[in-house]
Structure 1
Amino acid sequence: MTRSTTATTSIAALAHNLAVARTAAPGSRTWAVVKAEAYGHGLGAAMTGFAAADGLALLEFDGAARLREAGWRRPILMIEGAFEEDDVALAARLRLALVVHCEEQVGWLQAHRGEPVAAVLKVDTGLNRLGVPRERAGAIHSRLSAMPGVESVALMSHFATADVAGGAARAIADFDAATARLPGERSLANSAAVLTVPQAHRDWVRPGIILYGATPFADRSAASFGLRPAMSLTGRLIAVRDLAPGDSVGYGSSFTAPSRMRIGIVDCGYADGYPRVAPTGTPVAVAGVRTGTVGRVSMDMLAVDIDAIPSARLGSPVELWGAQVSVDEVAASAGTIGYELLCAIAPRVRRVVREDFIGPPA
């Protein structure tokens, strides 16, 4: 019998969360962001769950090719654009829109002689990662618009602090000032802005993490927006131990039993993608009852407190995150964000795709 550690993706939850995003921005079309293998959920499942999206956005060209091969006929946006000149010809062949964020990419489009490609000029508004300077946006837009290898020119930016109240205001103002006289569709809103910054809802919105049932906010849960978890990570108890007062658990003996207690050993560890830095008390559910971890997470297993769960025994189901324990709770305990955990599921973890929801509504 194989290890039970399983990551399950819910098609129903993906579709539901997309509907939440579309309802939040009813006047905009939606790029469903599916980079990083759909935030760890699988491109195939995402294509099915996001069937109602107006387009899909990612950065991996092999992923875009897979989407086309699987039958996706609507627009696909490459959100980091071409990585080398040959990518422009590939984009033309696969009918991909290319973000343009630097002079080198402008030059590659200038040299392109194949079928025209849709370009999306990215303007930096303070994130200082990718994007042309605001003062250069007009000139670069004009150059792109005059190129025979460019079909159309749209405009976009990406926010640094849309998850903070008022954090997108300056970026929106700077973007509007830099692009005021330029034609073309606009796209500004990321997940946080889709939910809370309606003035950023332009022609297209680009929800990411919210589509997968996790939150972009430090102080507002996904459930508070009506989002449903699209992934569960589960395992089982592979051992039950009775501890005496003073017994320690795991490497480094970082947890010592204060009194007699029962613990369970779960078949999931950091080699499966569970965060090694998760401390004692990180939430988990055993046999449907919430409890916490004890001791240090190992490569292949972790320990949980089952002292108050008399029904727990060898083989009892364990939810590491999902319907009872949100991925954001686990991430917060481990000092990270839900995005990282969803994207970090290891190849050895069994994958399951289900049509229905994971657990009842919160």
Structure 2
Amino acid sequence: MIPRVTATVDLAAIQHNLHVVRGLAPRSRIMAAVKADAYGHGAVPVARALEAAGVDALAVACLEEAMELRQSHVIAPIALLEGVISSEEAALAVYERLQIVVHDHWQLALLEALPASAQLSLWFKLDSGMHRLGFPLADVPRLAETLRRHPNWKLEGWMTHLACADEPDSDVTPAQIARFDAALAQTTGPRSIANSAGIIAWPQARRDWVRPGLAIYGCSPLATHSAASLGLRPAMTLESRLIAVREFDAGEKIGYGGTYVCPQRMPIGVVAIGYADGIHRAFANGTPVIVNGRRVPLAGRVSMDMITVDLRGAPDARVGDAARLWGADLPAEEVAGHAGTLAYELFCGLTQRVHFRHLPAPAAALRSVNRGV
């Protein structure tokens, strides 16, 4: 059986991008984000590749994501970015030696209800201006006192999250950094501020820990910089194939609603991929697709299972030819712009109908053999 849509993930590219991040922040430890199934790339194989390449820790959103990694024998430190939401989760997180990010006092109450002998590893998340999760900055002395009352609690560090790091000219990020620093001026413990954009655009945000996400997957978080200019390698290539090539006269309308009108007699190709695979219906006419190494534009609305493309730029295209939606020669962040969205959403939006293929990285393969996996 031939898959109609294949996402190929190059684990060597994942490892390469980790080394790029380490070069940008050589004095920082790296906590790589593998939440949301490693941004749609496959949490277990990506985590194993990062582990083999020497990542210092991994970050997931919730306990379920952490358990998937632990059950697959990933032994690297794992942080729960949203913390725990019940006493049962708290107990299991302690048992699995997970690092718990605590962002509110109700979570502290859950942890304080555990046996006094429980060995906890935790981060305190502070709200320096994102206004999503995090303790008020004024709570720092109270949190420090909580630590003193619990000698079995190990503080991994203090973290915050940047709201506008992808805007290099914004005054929001310097203000957030200054507020975070001022709140912790009299407090010890490692600090973590920078996400991918912070690592690249804001050197002053590279502290004891950095937390790259999108950069690990080979995408630039900055509109002003391409992934290639940063030395990043896209890890995912998404491909389908042409299942029809037809000629239409000038004036003929293509697809639902007839939103594309042929300006002349021309070839139209049908590619076996649609919004049921994760290709946004919001993609506009003109969105690039690569057929036979040439860029051709989307022509007509995205359907559930198909898209149609203008093949005038690839006149030799035939049924069965590969059609690439994004990859090394067509950056996902560029494609996302045609739907008014971000590469994050493209990656995370791929559905179960997509066939995934992971190209092994030599170091990851060696580590798997050594673990007996």
Q: TM-score, normalised by structure 1?
A: 0.95
Deviation sequence 1:212-270 (CA, Å, 0-9, x none): 01121123221211111111110000000101001110000000001011010000000
Correspondence 1:29 to 2:32? no
CA contact (8 A) 2:194 2:206 kept: yes
In the TM superposition, 1:240-255 aligns within 5 A as 240-255=245-260
Of 152, 157, 160, 1:154 maps to: 157
Could you tell me how far 1:112 is from its partner in structure 2? 1.4
Tell me how many residue pairs correspond in the alignment.
357
Q: Is the CA contact 2:49–2:361 (under 8 Å) kept in the aligned structure 1?
A: no
Partner of residue 40, structure 1:
40
For residues 191 and 14 of structure 2, what CA distance do their matches in structure 1 show?
25
Indicate which of 178, 181, 189 corresponds to 1:184: 189
Question: Do the aligned partners of residues 340 and 272 (structure 1) sit closer, same or farther apart at CA in structure 2, a change above 3 Å counting?
Answer: same
Give the direction of change, closer, same or farther, for the CA distance of 1:318–1:145 in structure 2 (3 Å limit): farther
Contact kept in structure 1, 2:48 and 2:74, CA below 8 Å? no
Q: Which residue of 2 aligns with 1:203?
A: 208
SS of 1:220's partner is coil
Q: Which moved more, 1:89-98 or 1:158-167?
A: 158-167
Which residue of structure 2 aligns with residue 194 of structure 1? 199
What is the alpha-carbon distance in structure 2 between the residues aligned to residue 64 and residue 274 of structure 1?
28
Q: Secondary structure at the match of 1:13?
A: helix
Q: 2:61 aligns with which of 46, 59, 62?
A: 59
Unaligned runs of 5+ in 2: 363-373
Equivalent in 107, 110, 124 of residue 108 of structure 1: 110
Q: Which residue of 1 aligns with 2:371?
A: none
Residue 272 of structure 1: SS of its match in structure 2?
A: coil
**Per-residue CA shift, 1:297-335, capped at 9, x if unaligned?**
000000011112122000010000112211111100110
3-state DSSP of counterpart to 1:119: strand
Cα deviation 1:25-70 (Å, max 9, x = unaligned) = 0000000100000000001221232122011011131221222232
Where does residue 320 of structure 1 map in the other structure? 325
Q: Answer whether contact 1:144 1:153 (CA < 8 A) is retained.
A: no
Q: Which residue of 2 aligns with 1:360?
A: none
The question of 1:220 aligning with 2:222 is answered no
Q: Indicate the residue corresponding to 1:123 in structure 2.
A: 126
Q: 1:335 aligns to what?
A: 340
Match of 2:74 in 1: 72
Q: How does 1:266-281 map to 2 (within 5 A)?
A: 266-281=271-286
Amino acid at match of 1:195: I
In structure 2, what is the equivalent of residue 136 of structure 1? 139
Amino acid at match of 1:22: R
Would you say the 8 A contact 2:32–2:57 is kept in 1? yes
Gap change, CA 1:164 and 1:5, over 3 Å in 2: same
Change in CA separation of 1:308 and 1:104 when aligned onto 2, cut-off 3 Å: same
Whole-Å Cα distance in 2 between the matches of residues 6 and 184 of structure 1? 45
Residues 213-222 or 117-126, more deviating: 213-222
Instruction: Please name the residue that 1:229 is paired with.
Output: 234
DSSP 3-state at the match of 2:242:
strand
* Structure 1, 139-148 or 180-189: larger mean CA deviation: 139-148
Q: How far apart, CA to CA, are the structure 2 residues paired with 1:311 and 1:266?
A: 15
Q: TM-score, normalised by structure 2?
A: 0.93
Question: Out of 288, 307, 312, which is 1:302 matched to?
Answer: 307
Q: Identity rate of aligned residues, in percent?
A: 44
Q: Distance in 2 between matches of 1:302 and 1:190?
A: 35
